[in-house]
Structure 1
Amino acid sequence: MTISMDHFTPDLRGDALAVQDMAACREAIRTGSLSFHAASRLLPAKVRDPSLALYAFCRLADDAVDEGDDKVGAVLQLRDRLDLVYRGRPRDAAADRAFARVVETFEMPRALPEALLEGFAWDAVGRRYDTLSGVLDYSARVAAAVGAMMCVLMRVREADALARACDLGLAMQLTNIARDVGEDALAGRIYLPLDWLAEEGVDVAAFLAAPAPCDGVRRVTRRLLDHADRLYRRSEAGVPKLPLACRPAILAARHVYAGIGGRVRAAGYDSVTQRARTGRGAKLGWLALSVLRAGTMSVGPVPSVLHAGPATEVEFLVQAARGAARKGRSEALLSVLAQLEARDRGLA
């Protein structure tokens, strides 16, 4: 694939444009995702820049769907933007051009960003999740897919390493869900497993109408964080399979996000009246810890959990990253996009 430059302004072609695009991506991440920005500073430059381009594209797409008034239109636009990227003619925007360069340079399997697209589409249709497995299905798309793409950027396509990277993505998304219970409820969204809420006697409609940190919601939040902690621990077995220079950044992401979960725990699992935050000092401490741990993780026997199969919900991502995925969009993705197109035309 060769990226067409025909529609770019002549004085912005070539390396100068690439430099400007990367500067825009760095700024988007610096202001939009402090946790990722902090962890990314530990990556070697050859991985850091493409990872920032990847994350900027994903983050801006997420913001458009999550915060915009036209969620349906935002998802359909993202579908079209991905089509252009994979045709080698990205939209005339910094994040799109930078991501197109990543796709070309690293031969990024299309199924991975399209998994992210499917997760955003589920958001746009307001999908809720009856079970933890359903929450993990969603988390696989909006977070574990990014973990798989990060492995591709590190030139790592071994199944065991990919499975553990997806574990980390799942854990981080469960942490995000636990942190944002109140914020999501105010927006009419719920990502906690509905069967867990039912077991606790929580009336979802009443909770969304007047969000409050009742005991049942606290216990469900705790269960979700407990599962995230198990995934964080399992993910660590894959870190030694990554390039040595990349390990501190991945461990930093693990510690920073787990630290957010720790703040939720410290607040008595109340993420309704407050939103857990971590300070600069804590982040610096986790970054230092990650650097120290990265150098010792290859010492000793290989943990048996390294070879555990991928979680059922992320198996398709592992296959895609290894180049074994079926070509073309999945029937599930085509179905949800068709629903959105019908809504966009006022037919549903």
Structure 2
Amino acid sequence: MRPDWSDPRLAGPSAEDFAACDGMLRDGSKSFRAAALLLPRAIRRPATALYAFCRLADDAIDEGPGDAATVARLERRVERAYAARPIDHPVDRAFAETVRRFGVPRSVVMALIEGLSWDAQGKRYETLDELCGYAARVAGSVGVMMAVLMERRSADVLARAADLGVAMQLSNVARDVGTDAAMGRIYLPLAWLREAGIDPEAFLARPQFTPALASVVVRLLAEAERLYARADAGIAALPAGCRPGIRAARAIYAEIGHEVARRGHDSVSQRAVVPARRKLVLLAGALVTGSGADNLAAPALPGTAYLVASAAMSQAARPALRGAPPAWWNLVGRATAVIEMFERLGRVERSVVRGP
């Protein structure tokens, strides 16, 4: 039986540590934080700790020197967390306890760090498969880790969780074409650019939106939509109390692509943002909408297969979460969740929205 992390008598990370994790996501990861409101508390807290560590690692690359020394420091932080000797930082303490309690495979976390090291190297991707290999590391790994937190280690469910992570990353790539170019980065498949008559180096030297570039973004978003559809079967296989939160995350990130499309697929001169009110609608819909997909057994993407195998084989299946029924099974719980979403998203909307 899993410990109830809401029990204050439990040893481990303090309430202040989890509050620090939540605070980190409040400004930098609004889409995840909004979707996390629909996760059961027993999953929400460790998921927040996990995502905060991922955010911390990502920021270390994007906002720091992003060199080999930065990557080495991140690897040491992971090693110390798995040795139960985390550095004296609230996110590291919460992360170390999360991976210990839930048996998150270290190899999956290290895949994330490898993907971030590719960012530090300014690596580019010739084909869609190569881009998906990168997305598998920086986002598919997170999907696999979330499935492990939810006690799902079958290869089929893990493969769909990885699909969802990759789809989310492809949505982000489509949204951030201009932002990335301003940093000297390009993630769109280089072969696709050349097929559209775009020289990658010339584009980076002078980023401009063109119909040809729009055609590349359209192709990428179509691939993201395909993977979102594949992921639906995996969401349906999650514990009932976890499905609304993951459906919400899927809906919000897919909406990024829809917003890009509404702007004519121009993600160079503007950056698509999902408005807070629209997020609220998507969150409310996630409480009642089912998946209905039937492709659970589709093979894993080539880039995510090793993550799926690692998590499926790392540990025998653990017993399912037990305890009180989740709040989503009763009307009072549903109403309370929606009220909480209104309150939190209202504060987000009154602030300067930085996007998902």
What's 2:313 paired with? 323
Partner of 2:242: 246
1:156 aligns with 2:171: no
SS of corresponding position for 2:296:
helix
| Structure 1 residues 131 and 16: CA distance shift in structure 2, 3 A | closer
Change (3 A) 1:189 1:23: same
Q: CA deviation at 1:119?
A: 0.1
Provide the residue aligned with 1:24 in structure 2.
Answer: 20
Deviations 1:57-84 (A, max 9, x none): 0001101101223433221110111111
Distance 2:66 2:229 in 1: 38
Q: Tell me, which stretches of 5 or more residues in structure 1 are unaligned?
A: 1-13, 326-348
Q: Is residue 201 from structure 1 mapped to residue 197 from structure 2 by the alignment? A: yes
Is the 8 Å Cα contact of residues 64 and 71 (structure 1) preserved in structure 2?
A: no
1:335 corresponds in structure 2 to none
5+ residue gaps, structure 2: 1-9, 316-356
Would you say the 8 A contact 2:155–2:308 is kept in 1? yes
**Structure 2 residue identity aligned to 1:35:** S
Residue 163 of structure 2 corresponds to 167
Which of 302, 310, 313 is matched with 2:303 structurally? 313
In the alignment, structure 1 residue 51 sits paired with structure 2 residue 47 = yes
Alignment of 1:32-43 (within 5 A): 32-43=28-39
Aligned residue pairs, count: 307
Q: 1:17 to 1:319 in 2, by over 3 A?
A: closer
Q: AA paired with 2:267?
A: S
The answer to whether the aligner puts 1:282 opposite 2:272 as a matched pair is no
Paired position in structure 2 for 1:3: none
Does residue 82 in structure 1 map to residue 72 in structure 2? no
Match in the other structure for 1:189: 185
How does the TM-score come out when normalised to structure 2?
0.84
TM-superposition CA deviations, 1:236-258 (whole Å, max 9, x none): 01112100000001100110001
Superposed CA offset, 1:161-197 (max 9, x none): 1111111111000000000000000000000000000
Q: Any residues of structure 2 matched to 1:110-121 within 5 Å, and which?
A: 110-121=106-117
Q: 2 CA distance for matches of 1:276 and 1:133?
A: 25
State the identity %.
49
The SS at the match of 1:293 is: coil
Cα distance in 1 for partners of 2:48, 2:126 equals 34
1:109/1:323 contact within 8 Å kept? no
Contact kept? 2:35, 2:283, Cα under 8 Å: yes
Partner of 1:136: 132
Q: Give, as a single letter, the amino acid of the residue that structure 1 aligns with 2:19.
A: A
Quick check: 1:160–1:238 contact (8 Å CA) kept in 2?
A: yes
Contact 2:175–2:267 (CA under 8 A) maintained in structure 1: yes
Counterpart position of 2:263: 267
Give the drift of 1:17. Answer: 5.0
Q: 1:15: how far off?
A: 4.5
The alignment yields a C-alpha RMSD, in angstroms, of 1.6
Partner Cα distance (1:248, 1:167) in 2: 18
How far the C-alpha of 1:158 sits from its partner, in A, is 1.1
Structure 1 pair 118/110, CA: closer, same or farther in 2 (3 Å)? same
Name 2:221's counterpart in structure 1. 225
Q: Give the deviation of 1:324 after TM superposition.
A: 4.8
Question: Contact 1:145 / 1:166 at 8 angstroms: preserved in 2?
Answer: yes
Match of 1:9 in 2: none
SS at match of 1:312: coil
1:140 Cα deviation (Å)? Answer: 0.1
